[in-house]
C-alpha cells in the first residue's frame, strides 16, 4: 500500500464483506482480524484461525422499572479433515447465556467481559490457541480494543489470545450473521419470558456493589433443544462467499 510515494504498514488487517449503499459509505456486513499476509479468504479460512468462536448478542428490556439484559451466546468450533468427512464445518457446540439486571448502558460490553472471564477461566483454556468473540456492537471501537488501547468494559482490557470480530445481524447470509440473528431471537424471547413470568427467578443471584444488581448464567438457552440432540453444523466450503480483505489504519 502506498501513500504519497511511501509504503504504509497497516496496523490492522481484516477480512470483511461489505454492501454498497448508494452515495453513503459501504455497510460492513462482516469483519474478522487476520494474521499473515492479506489474501482473498473464504469465511471458513478466516474463522479457522480460531479454536473456538463465540457469537454473542445482547438485548435489554425495561421490566418493572429495572433494565434486564440477556446475552445469548453460541459457542462454535471448526471441524476439518477426517472428523468432518473431508469438509470444513462450523459446529455450534452449545448455546449459553447470561442474564444481568440494573445496568443502564454498555450492556453489550459487560457481556463481552463476562464471556471473556468464562473463556479464560475455563480449565480447557489453551494459552497457545486463539479465540474469537463475534458481536454486532461498537464496530468502530474494535480496532482499538484488539490493540489493547481501549478497555473492553470499564478498566478491563481484552485478554491475550482473544480477538473481537464484527458481524451485522440485520442483513447478510454469512454463517456468523445467521448465528447472530439466532442469538438475537433467543435473547428477545428470553426477555419476553422473564417479563411474562414464564421464566422465574430460580438461580438469579443478588449482588452487592458493582455495576449490576442481579446475575445468572444459563446453559442451553434454546427452548426445546435437547442437550444430547443433533448439533447444528454449517458447511463452510465453495458456497461460502469470499471476504475481501481490507485494512484499517
Bridge-based pairing of strands 52-63 and 131-135 is parallel
Specify if 1 maps to a domain. no
Specify if 65 maps to a domain. yes
In this predicted structure, what is the pLDDT of residue 117? 94
Rounded-to-integer distance, Cα 148 and Cα 239, Å: 35
In this predicted structure, what is the pLDDT of residue 42? 60
Domain count for the chain: 1
The whole-chain average pLDDT of the chain stands at 75
Domain residue limits at 210: 26-243
Q: Tell me the CATH number at 232.
A: 3.30.420
In this predicted structure, what is the pLDDT of residue 205? 92
Rounded-to-integer distance, Cα 112 and Cα 92, Å: 19
Winning range, highest mean pLDDT, from 72-81, 159-168, 212-221 = 159-168
In this predicted structure, what is the pLDDT of residue 197? 94
Higher confidence at residue 12 or residue 124? 124
In this predicted structure, what is the pLDDT of residue 216? 92
Specify if 137 maps to a domain. yes
CB-based contact 157:151 (threshold 8 Å)? yes
Specify if 55 maps to a domain. yes
Residue with C-alpha cell 480447557? Answer: 124
In this predicted structure, what is the pLDDT of residue 41? 43
Instruction: Using the predicted structure, report yes or no on whether residue 158 has a pLDDT greater than 50.
Output: yes
- 77: pLDDT confidence band, cut at 50, 70 and 90? confident
* pLDDT tens per residue, range 160-207: 999 999 988 776 677 888 888 889 999 999 999 999 999 888 889 999
In this predicted structure, what is the pLDDT of residue 91? 76
Instruction: Using the predicted structure, report yes or no on whether residue 155 has a pLDDT greater than 90.
Output: yes
Instruction: Using the predicted structure, report yes or no on whether residue 58 has a pLDDT greater than 80.
Output: yes
What residues contact residue 40 under an 8 Å CB cut-off, 6+ apart? 242, 243, 244, 245
Range from 76-85, 102-111, 157-166 carrying the lowest mean pLDDT: 76-85
Rounded-to-integer distance, Cα 73 and Cα 94, Å: 9
Specify if 115 maps to a domain. yes
Say what percent of the chain tops pLDDT 90: 43
* pLDDT tens per residue, range 4-31: 444 433 344 344 444 444 555 554 445 5
Specify if 72 maps to a domain. yes
Rounded-to-integer distance, Cα 96 and Cα 26, Å: 33
Range from 27-31, 75-79, 95-99, 162-166 carrying the lowest mean pLDDT: 27-31
Specify if 12 maps to a domain. no
CB-based contact 83:101 (threshold 8 Å)? no
Specify if 59 maps to a domain. yes
pTM of the model: 0.75
Winning range, highest mean pLDDT, from 24-33, 34-43, 138-147, 224-233 = 138-147
Instruction: Using the predicted structure, report yes or no on whether residue 232 has a pLDDT greater than 90.
Output: no
In this predicted structure, what is the pLDDT of residue 1? 35
Average pLDDT over every residue of 204-219: 90
Amino acid at each position: 500500500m502506498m501513500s504519497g510515494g511511501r509504503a504504509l504498514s497497516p496496523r490492522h488487517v481484516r477480512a470483511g464483506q461489505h454492501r454498497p449503499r448508494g452515495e453513503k459509505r459501504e455497510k460492513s456486513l462482516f469483519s474478522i482480524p487476520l494474521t499473515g499476509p492479506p489474501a482473498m479468504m473464504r469465511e471458513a479460512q478466516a474463522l479457522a484461525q480460531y479454536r473456538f468462536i463465540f457469537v454473542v448478542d445482547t438485548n435489554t428490556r425495561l421490566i418493572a422499572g429495572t433494565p434486564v439484559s440477556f446475552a445469548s451466546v453460541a459457542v462454535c468450533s471448526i471441524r476439518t479433515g477426517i472428523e468432518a468427512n473431508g469438509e470444513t464445518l462450523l459446529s455450534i457446540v452449545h448455546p449459553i447465556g447470561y442474564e444481568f439486571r440494573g445496568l443502564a448502558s454498555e450492556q453489550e460490553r459487560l457481556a463481552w467481559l463476562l464471556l471473556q472471564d468464562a473463556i479464560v477461566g475455563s480449565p480447557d483454556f489453551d494459552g497457545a490457541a486463539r479465540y474469537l468473540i463475534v458481536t454486532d456492537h461498537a464496530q468502530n471501537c474494535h480496532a482499538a480494543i484488539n490493540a489493547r488501547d481501549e478497555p473492553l468494559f470499564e478498566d478491563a482490557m481484552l485478554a491475550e489470545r482473544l480477538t473481537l470480530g464484527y458481524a451485522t445481524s440485520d442483513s447478510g447470509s454469512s454463517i456468523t450473521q445467521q448465528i447472530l440473528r439466532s442469538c438475537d431471537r433467543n435473547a428477545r424471547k428470553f426477555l419476553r419470558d422473564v417479563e411474562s413470568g414464564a421464566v422465574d427467578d430460580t438461580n438469579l443471584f443478588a449482588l452487592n456493589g458493582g455495576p449490576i444488581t442481579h446475575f445468572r448464567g444459563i446453559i442451553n438457552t434454546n427452548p426445546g433443544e435437547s442437550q444430547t440432540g443433533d448439533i447444528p453444523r454449517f458447511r463452510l466450503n465453495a458456497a461460502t462467499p469470499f471476504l475481501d480483505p481490507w485494512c484499517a489504519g
